[in-house]
Each structure stands twice: as structure tokens, then as C-alpha cells.
Amino acid sequence: MQETRVATRPLAIRGVTVIDGTGGDPYLGDVDVDASGTISFVGASSGAAAAARSDDDVELIEGEGLAVAPGFVDLHSHSDLYALYREALYGPPIGDSPKLVQGCTAQVFGQDGISAAPVSDGDLGDHRAFLAGLDGTLPDEYWTWRTFGEYLSAIRASSATRTALLVGHATIRRLVMGDAAREATDEEIGAMQDALASALDEGGRGFSSGLVYVPAAYATTEEVAALCEVVAARDLPFFVHVRSESDLVVEATDEVIGVAERTGCHLHYSHVKAAGSSNWHKAELIVDRIAAAREAGVRVSADVHPYVAGSTSAIVLLPPWLQDGGHEMAIGRLSDPAVRARVREQLLGDTTSWDNWWRFSDGWEGLRVARSKRPDLVGRSFGEVIAAAHVADPLSQDGFDVIFDLLVSERLGMSLVSFNNVEENVAKFMSQAYTSIGTDAVVDHGGHPHPRLHGTFPRVLGRFVRDLGVLSLPEAIRKVTSQAAAVVGWQGVVGELRPGLPGDLVLFDPEVIEDRATFEDPFEYPVGIEGVFVGGRRLVGGGDLVPGADVVAGEPAGCPG
């Protein structure tokens, strides 16, 4: 296990409002972290005790007007590859930096059924293309792993945050049967079960599926359940992007609840929502379905992101049949005029055979370019892209062909932002006792990312806690710390302020904290975060990264698996 690199100076925070992550009432107190990076004291302020614990070799912080909480846990991260990549000799990887500045000291990778490992030698090139839309790209020399354990070791030797890694359904399906658009045979399901079991035994903290993403989209409910039996046997969570978040979202919710009920696994519902204005009323139905399942003893948790827009790979605009056989086959088909006409017709009218992102985003104006090889397009709506090509009618075949041409030129590796939600429903889901928070942020290094990459957690604490009163501050902190940590088996290991746990802390001003990143200017850092510490080492100070600060977090001592 990679140990945390920490400063030799202990840390002492005095006279600060302590929010310990359990949901208990805040109180005025002190927090000490020793030279090993471990919390040594948390309690009410006492001048005599504080003096006894302080000396000249301590980094002393006066916390008046500030609050201290455990480091936040990003339950849905897409920094899988960029947690390995640094642009400078010192400082955190580029996938960690936007998380640290908003208070995250832990991340969960391998989301939506797409994990960086395991991968075979023969499939490495296609696998990297497969990851690009959600998780980005890395230079050739970084690809040193094939097994899940090798990838886990690489991440633990690099990331400045604590990391929990999920095993992706689409990844192991590709390993066993490629991108075939068909049901798996019993023999293939058995091989997938074996591959999943091996990856979990090498350190995977759970299993994920994205039932809208090829090739997991081709899986039957029986296949999903068979894999969840492997997960349940190890008492690990099943993270899932359900098969539909729009017209069939209730049915998709029933499907995964049924899998959890049947197998006994812990279901974690990723970025729970009802997408598209015609479906917003279904949020209450989803809440009712989950409540009934929990009352019946099914273990269900979920995460939410605090925005009305989502972001993903632009490949979701293409129906699953077109992607049969992988990226190269899909690119070839999309160059055929007859195929383009069929896809246009399906985008215009089909909302049930697959999750139609064009339709539930209200067409081209509800979609923006997040990452593209063409800098002039980044940040623009797809409608603007079509207009710039001098096409008068965006719904004509010529209008659709502009976007199809773009997807082909990008080799399906671009990403998008989709406006599809309403804040009332975001608040509804966020207020449920079982939900935590995830950024679901595509890093889009060099592109135009979703503002949630830098703003998610401050937006929760600013807009939804302080401004809207959706949650109390202690409850919000509990959701993003101890509750989130428990989902991946880190209960009692991270996510609380108590002696013996790692000194992963966030020091912030509850009256000031808010997100500043916008859809127009997504790189703005939040305000109100005065310090972020990993193992007692300060990585963020005064709202910005500390120049040259370098930590490799590793896995906190005491984590199972």
C-alpha cells in the first residue's frame, strides 16, 4: 500500500466550528493532526489543553469564523486517467486539482460501466478509444497496466486523493466478447463473472454498469443479475447508470431495484434524475420506488450532482445498433448516407428503444460542445455549430449531417453538455436521506468542461444549503463525508473527524462558500475554501492550489480489501 507523503510539521486548528461528518451538531473546538498525518485530537476548545498541544514546530491555524469538516468524497468521478498525469514536476495530477480546490480528498473511479482495467494487449488501442469520451486520453508511455491490480497500483502511486476503484461492466464485457451487439451466452456470462471476481479480488471496491453505453447496453437483465451475484457475495456495491433516465426511467429504476432485490447486492443509483421536461413529473415516482424498496429491506443509495445539465461522451447521440462491433465500425457506418438518414429519423422520433439524448435535451440548442479537436467549436451549442456551417434548417438532413461529420472527424472522442433537468427535482433527490454527491465531471483537459468539474461541492454548500435551505449544513457534510465513504466500504476509515483517522480536512467559511464556475467560464475556482489537507499536508490555501505541494495519498490504513 502506498503511504501518504506528509509534511513533518504537525497541524493545529484552534477555535474552529467543528462539523465532524456524523450529522451531529457543530461545536466550537480544536483539531490536531500529528506528524504522521493522523488526527490526534478533536474536541471542545480549551485554552490550557490547546497550549499543551502546541509548540513552535506546529502549523497553527486560528479558525475563528471558519468551519472544519472531513475531506469530501466524490462518489462519481471521471478522473480515472488524469489522476496519473501531471503537467509539472510538483503538484497534484490534473485530474485531482479541480477536486482538491472544491474540498474533495477522495474519489471513486470506474463509473458508468467503464473502467481503465482490465484490458488485453490485443485490445489496448480500441480500449483507449473507448475510454476517451468520458475519461480522456493519456500518452502512450502511461499505459503500463493490463490487470486491474496493476492499474490500482498505478493510481495509488500517483493520486493526491484517496481512491476507490470500481470494475466496469462494459470493460469486462469487451474483454470477454468485444463489442458484439447481442445477448451473452451462458459461457460468456461465466467468463465475465470470473473476470469480475478476479478484478474485485485484486482490490476493486465494487462493480459499475452504464446500461446506456455500448456494449453494456446490449446486456439483458439476466446478465446484469449474474454479475451482481459476484458483487453480492463480496458485500460490495453495484453502481449503475440506469438503462433510461428519460421516457422509461421508472421502468429502468424497477429493473435495477429488481436486480438488487433478487441478488442481495447493495444498489447505488448513479446521478439519479428524470431527464427531459416531459419526464420531470416522474421524479416523485422514482422517489416512491426507492422508498418502497428500502422499506422492504433492499439496500439502495444514490448520488446527485447539483446542476440542471449533465455531461458525457457525444457517442450517446448514436443508437446502440450503429455501434455494433466497436468504434471503427461505427465510424464507417456513420459515413453512409443511408445510415445517417436512419439515425436522423430515430433521433427525431424514437424515445424508447434507447435513451435519446438529443430528444430529452430539447434538440441541438440543448447540447453544447465540451471537448473537440476544433477550439472554435468548444463551448458552442450544437445549434450554433450547424448555423456556422450555413445550414438554415437544423432539423434537415443537412443539419444532422453537420454533426455526423463532426463526430466522424473526432473519431467519436468528443464530449458534450446536455441541458435536461430542473432544479426543483435536483433539490428533491438531494434531500433524500440516502443520497450523496458526485461531480460526474468529465475532465476535458484543454476543452470546455461542465462547471461541476470545479464547482459541485461548494454549490451544494452555498446554493442548496445556505441559499435554498434544502439541507442543513451538518446533514450536507454528513452526506458528502461519512455517508459517501460508507458506500465503498470506508466507514470508520475516512469521512469523520476523530482521532486515529487520516488528517484529510476541509477548512471553509460557511457564509462565503459558493461555486464560481459557469457554463461560459467553467475554470473559475470556488470561493470560501480556506484550506484542504490530505494526511495533514496543505494542498489548497486561500482558495488556490499551494504551489509545489505534492502528496501521494494512497489508501487510508484500515481499508478492507
Per-residue pLDDT of the chain (561 residues; tens, 9 = 90+): 344 444 458 999 999 999 999 999 999 999 999 999 999 999 998 665 555 555 658 899 999 999 999 999 999 999 999 999 988 767 899 999 999 999 999 999 999 999 999 999 999 999 998 898 889 899 999 999 999 999 999 999 999 999 999 999 999 999 999 999 999 999 999 999 999 999 999 999 999 999 999 999 999 999 999 999 999 999 999 999 999 999 999 999 999 999 999 999 999 999 999 999 999 999 999 999 999 999 999 999 999 999 999 998 999 999 999 999 888 899 999 999 999 999 999 999 999 999 999 999 999 999 999 989 899 999 999 999 999 999 999 999 999 999 999 999 999 988 999 999 999 999 999 999 999 999 999 897 778 999 999 999 999 999 999 999 999 999 999 999 999 999 999 999 999 999 999 999 999 999 999 999 999 999 999 999 999 999 999 999 999 999 888 888 877 766 654
pLDDT of residue 3: 42
161 belongs to a structural domain: no
pLDDT of residue 554: 75
Q: How far apart are CA 224 and CA 209, in angstroms?
A: 8
410 belongs to a structural domain: yes
The parent domain of residue 376 ranges over 313-419
Residue 465 is classified by DSSP as: I
Q: How far apart are CA 328 and CA 179, in angstroms?
A: 11
336 belongs to a structural domain: yes
Q: How far apart are CA 293 and CA 314, in angstroms?
A: 33
pLDDT of residue 144: 94
- Which residues are 73's β-sheet partners? 106
Q: How far apart are CA 344 and CA 403, in angstroms?
A: 11
Q: How far apart are CA 345 and CA 335, in angstroms?
A: 16
Q: How far apart are CA 291 and CA 304, in angstroms?
A: 16
371 belongs to a structural domain: yes
- SS3 assignment, position 313: strand
pLDDT of residue 325: 86
163 belongs to a structural domain: no
341 belongs to a structural domain: yes
The model's pTM: 0.95
User: How many structural domains is the chain composed of?
Assistant: 1
- Residue pair 284/290 in contact by the 8 Å Cβ criterion: no
471 belongs to a structural domain: no
Residue 104 is classified by DSSP as: E
Can you point out the beta strands (E) in 415-469? 415-419, 435-437
4 belongs to a structural domain: no
Residues 6+ apart with CB under 8 A from 190: none
